[in-house]
Amino acid sequence: MKKKIILYGVVASTLLGGGTFTNTASAAENQEIMGSNIGVVPSNVQAAEQSQNKNSAYQDIDERVKKMLISAAGPGTVLRNHDIKDAELNGSNIEGSIIENSQLLTVGENILENTLGHEVTLYTSGYEHGFKETTSTTNTSGWTFGYNYNASLSVMMLTASHSFSVDYNMSTSNTTEKSEDRKFIIPPQGFSVPAGKKYKVEYVFEKITISGKNKINADLYGDATYTFNNQPMSPQLLYSALNFASDKQGFEPVIRNNAVGNDRFGIRATGVGQFSTEFGTRLYAKITDITNSKKPVMLETKTIPVEFETLSADTKIIE
């Protein structure tokens, strides 16, 4: 079974053009995200980011649970087994970690010249442009998730109405890279050209690269059984055992509101993921009056809505 991290935000549209960014998260959800201490990097994350032998700095999260439970054993008791009944992965964007760069590409150009004595509408040629979008993510949490779940989260951007998602594979410490070959088609566009005027129309495509970090939580719900004099005792919640653990392994208690009874109580491991993504954002036409070639006059820019088409997609693990 696979679980996904979902952050509430605007769904990214494949239609290029202007728009207004809207945060659709509820007040409670925003409070939950903002209330977390996301400015402190856990020691296990620092070790994972700084280690030269990266894989050696990582540990399956289940092994950390076992170590915590062993340290929670009371006098004369021994850990027999533990049972993870449910697990949830969730995350949020780390504010202040975002770096954004933009690139402008001229993908087409037309000269429109009106030799008539009155204003006319002249049309550009149609264009087709292919490009590649690439997203890479790296689990730098210091732990891997061995419960056959994948973490997927949508990162909300507050710049120029951009919204996008990045997918984390928490079962590995290696970088996951997803690439897509895409294209869009620009149909012929009409522009009004006054009598005796000569216009140049350039189609400019904007691509941006955004990188940053995400906070990722693994919430585990279940119990552990200890033995006393070789006899099993009543199961104890992971949540309760954490209170008695001398080696908490970085776990902290968590209570969820979407469950009842003891199913509400669990333990949480917190980590950090790093991402970098490159994608196309908009296409616009730049119209310049070049009637006097020595003194060109920039007239206007006009947004051209186009639809993306995905030709192929590939995801790979980079060792």
Residue 269 in this model has a pLDDT that exceeds 90: yes
CATH dotted code for 27-318: 2.170.15.10
Which spans in the chain are helix H? 27-34, 43-50, 61-71, 238-244
Structure token pair of residue 69? 């439970």
Which comes out higher in pLDDT, residue 220 or 43? 220
Residue 53 pLDDT = 43
Asked if residue 77 lies in contact with residue 226, where contact means CB atoms within 8 angstroms, the answer is yes
pLDDT, tens digit (0-9, with 9 covering 90-100), for 147-173: 765 555 555 555 545 677 788 888 888
Residue 2 in this model has a pLDDT that exceeds 60: no
Residue 180 in this model has a pLDDT that exceeds 60: yes
Structure token pair of residue 88? 């949830």
Across 213-229, average pLDDT: 93
252 three-state secondary structure: strand
**Domain residue limits, the chain:** 27-318
Give the span between the Cα atoms of 316 and 179, in whole angstroms.
Answer: 9
pLDDT band at 51 (very low <50, low <70, confident <90, very high): very low
pLDDT, tens digit (0-9, with 9 covering 90-100), for 17-37: 333 223 333 333 333 322 233
Asked if residue 71 lies in contact with residue 208, where contact means CB atoms within 8 angstroms, the answer is no
Across 282-311, average pLDDT: 95
